Structure formats: structure tokens, C-alpha cells
Amino acid sequence: MKKSIFFLLLVSTTTFAQTSEDSLMIRKIYDEVLSNGQAYEWLRYLCKQIGPRLSGSVGAQKAVAYTKQLMEQEKFDRVFLQDVKVPHWVRGAKEEAYFKIGKEKTKVPIAALGGSVATAPKGLEAEVIEVKSFQQLRELGKDKVKGKIVFFNRPMDPTKINTFEAYGGAVDQRANGATEAANLGAVGAIVRSVTTRQDDVPHSGSMRYGTGVPLIPTAAISTNAANLLSQKLKEHPNLTFYFRQNCETLPDADSHNVVGEIKGREKPDEIIVVGGHLDSWDIAEGAHDDGAGCVQSIEAVRLLKVLGYQPKRTIRAVMFMNEENGLKGGIKYADLAKQNNEKHIAAIESDNGGFTPRGFGIVGKTDQKAKIIGWKPLLAPYGLHEIGPGGGGADIGPLAQHGTVLLGYKPDTQRYFDYHHAANDNFENVSKRELDLGTASMAVLIYLLDKYGI
């Protein structure tokens, strides 16, 4: 009996000592980043001096060079590039659009969707048919759709507290709308911007064509313009819509993932990855999507170095290329990891904006999830309450097949889709404090994963 009590006391004392040590380290991480954080200024340069970074563009090339230089400047043990072929779609001259009632024209803001074909040089004009779902479109049939422009006007559900859930309920229109419309003989497709915000800013994003269907031009229309067009269609069902866009897909381009690491002292062959995607849409600076995730990842590793932490395992920051319109960087990274027999025990991705941290979503086995959830008492004082099953991230997703635990950084979701894939995703809309708090959250999770394994 006495031995049992002694053992329990010993375990309790050891656990307390570990927790106390961890609490002190976590406090140091937050103090350092909130006092001396570098990520915000790195983001300023990425946005203001480099700007849009769509795969295959000059901006993407400059971003590769810049982030490589950053990690070299911070004296990571090794910094290197991974070659990757990426899609190269270009927007061309600015789009224009209007709807016409009689001789009266009303201009509306649109943005070609990534991967779309162009209209004819003089543009495309046709009558419009409005739908809220693919089922509604199919029920109309070819007789009513043929020769028309299909207007997909299903909004994000504003009653969803998690805006990513609302996004998931509307984004199929953007991704597959052109294919669904073309299947029924439509000549073009216009899609309501996938955002809850009511404004005049169209939100771009990727789309894809199905096999064997005509390639028809497709564009996003701003939410204010979508509401106006819907209203006018009720009053004037035979109005016509005109739009002109000049986009094209060029041959795949050479690009790179950017990788920087600090070597582990005990288990250097075990790797913990933290990353974001370096590419962004071409109509904005890509501040929240995903410049924030990139600078947070580099800064999270830098913080541990500055604090003198000697990791047991190798910690790697990765700037993935081509998440927006292909995921080639994430796939290539996972392929190379397999080819090189690398053991990735965990991967963290930040691709939900630089907003106030809320927690992490976990993809892994039951015992792995339980271990991470067990760290909640250490994380809760810093606002990280949402620790549990959830998505990891698109770029790190291919690592799941290697048994890697995936962790998606979860900031507050309420403002993300105000800026997502839109011209207002600029540096000015990022809060330094929120960005730094997110960075600290990621650094803390790296520390715990490295110290205790998974």
C-alpha cells in the first residue's frame, strides 16, 4: 500500500514539474513574439514589395527567393528548394461586365475564375437564367438552358457560426458550375462570390472543367451585383448579360517549394513540419491567404532558436507552392518525403488567415488525438480552447498516407471570407497582434510535439 502511494506521489510530482517547466517555456514564447516578433514586417515586405504570387508568375518567383533569404538570414541549419512544375494561368486585361435592359446598361464587378477560358475577343452576351443549385439547373433541362448564361446565386449560409462550414455549402458552384452549365448547353456561367460580406468586391478562386464538356467562360460576380442582377431578373426576365475576359492557360512553369530546418539533437530523422502556401491569387497581395501562414511558420521556428531551445527532432518550415490552383507543391513534398524515406511525425499548417487563435484541428489516430487534447490545460490560458478532431490542411494532406499526424491551425473564422480570394486581401487588413498570437500558438505546439513526441 505504501509503495503504491509513493509511486502515485512520484508520478504526480514529476507531472507537476513537467507542467511547470512547460508553462514557463510557453510564457517565454509568447513574451518573445509579443515583444520582438518579426513576422509582421516580413509580411509587409511580401505584400508590398512582392505582391500577388499566383503560380508561374514573376511574383511567385520573387517570393521563393525572398523566403529562402529570410530563413538563411535567420541562420536555419539548412535551407533548400524543391523543384516543382506548376500550372500557369494568367488573367490578362481586366474583365468588364454589364447587364442590359433595353438600351440601358448597368456595369457590374466580376473576376474571372482561375482556370477559366476567355470569352471571344469582343465578349459574350446572352440571356440569363438564375439558379440556386445544380439540381434546380438539371430540372430546367437543355431546352431552357441552351444558349444562356447560367447565374449561380446560392449565398453562403449566414446562420452558420463556423464560416468554413458555410463556405463548404456554397463553393461547389464556383468549382463545378461551368461544367454543370455546359452539360446543358449554356454558353457561359456567372457565380455569386463566395463570401458573407455584402460589397462590390468579386472573389476569385479556382474552377475545373469536367472531361468531355465544352469549355465555357466563367467568372465571379460581387455580392451586391448578384443581388441587383437577381432583382432585375425578376422584373425583366429577358435582360441580357455581357462579359469579356482575357485569361488563358500557359504551359506549366518551373517553380519551387522553399524548405528551412533546424536539426534535432536526439532524433534528427524524425521531422515536424510547419508551413503555409506561398502562392496567392493575382488580384491582391495574399496577406491572409496565405502570406500570414508563411511568415508565421518561419517565425515559429525562429522563436525557438532565439529562445535557445535545442529540439530533439528536426523542425522544418515549408513554403508550399501552388495550393490555390493545383496543390502541386504539397503533392511533390509528400512524394519526396517518401522517396527519401523521411519520417514525418507531425505537420502543422496555417492557411485560415492571420486572425485571433482559437485552437487546432487534429487528423490522426485516437491515441494521438488524445495526447494532444491532453495539452489543453497548457494551451487554454492563451485562448486555445478548440483542440480536437478537425481538418489538417490542403498542403500537408498528402502526408497523411505516410502516417503523419496533421494539425490545422484554427483562428477565428468570422472575417476570413471578407478577404478570401478578393482584391482586399491586403496587408492593411492584418492585425500585428493577432498574427503574433497565432505564431506563438504554432511555436508552442511544435515545442510540445518535439518534447513529448506523438
Catalytic residues: 323
**Cα separation of 303 and 143, whole Å?**
62
**Cα separation of 224 and 335, whole Å?**
44
Write down the residue that cell numbers 513526441 correspond to. 453
306: which residues sit within 8 A by CB, 6+ positions away? 32, 36
**Cα separation of 217 and 118, whole Å?**
6
Secondary structure class of 161 (helix, strand, coil): coil
Question: CA 199, 201, 202 angle in degrees (round to 5)?
Answer: 120
Phi then psi for residue 134, to 5 deg, are: -65, -35
CA torsion through residues 441, 443, 444, 448, sign: positive
Tell me if 217 sits within 8 A of 241, measured CB to CB. no
Tell me if 167 sits within 8 A of 144, measured CB to CB. no
Tell me whether residue 356 is exposed, middle or buried, using C-beta atoms within 10 angstroms of its C-beta: 0 to 12, 13 to 18, 19 or more: middle
Neighbours of 389 (CB within 10 A): 11
Q: What is the DSSP string of 388-454?
A: EE----TTTGGGGGGT-EEEEEEE--TTHHHHTTBTT--GGGS-HHHHHHHHHHHHHHHHHHHHH--
**Cα separation of 26 and 22, whole Å?**
6
Q: Which of 68, 70, 76 is nearest to 38 (CA)?
A: 70
Residues in the chain: 454
127: which residues sit within 8 A by CB, 6+ positions away? 147, 148, 149, 238, 239, 240, 241
HSE-up of 69 (CA within 13 Å, CB side)? 9
Tell me if 300 sits within 8 A of 446, measured CB to CB. yes
Q: Beta strands of 308-396 (E only): which ranges? A: 313-320, 343-349, 357-363, 386-389
Phi then psi for residue 213, to 5 deg, are: -110, 155
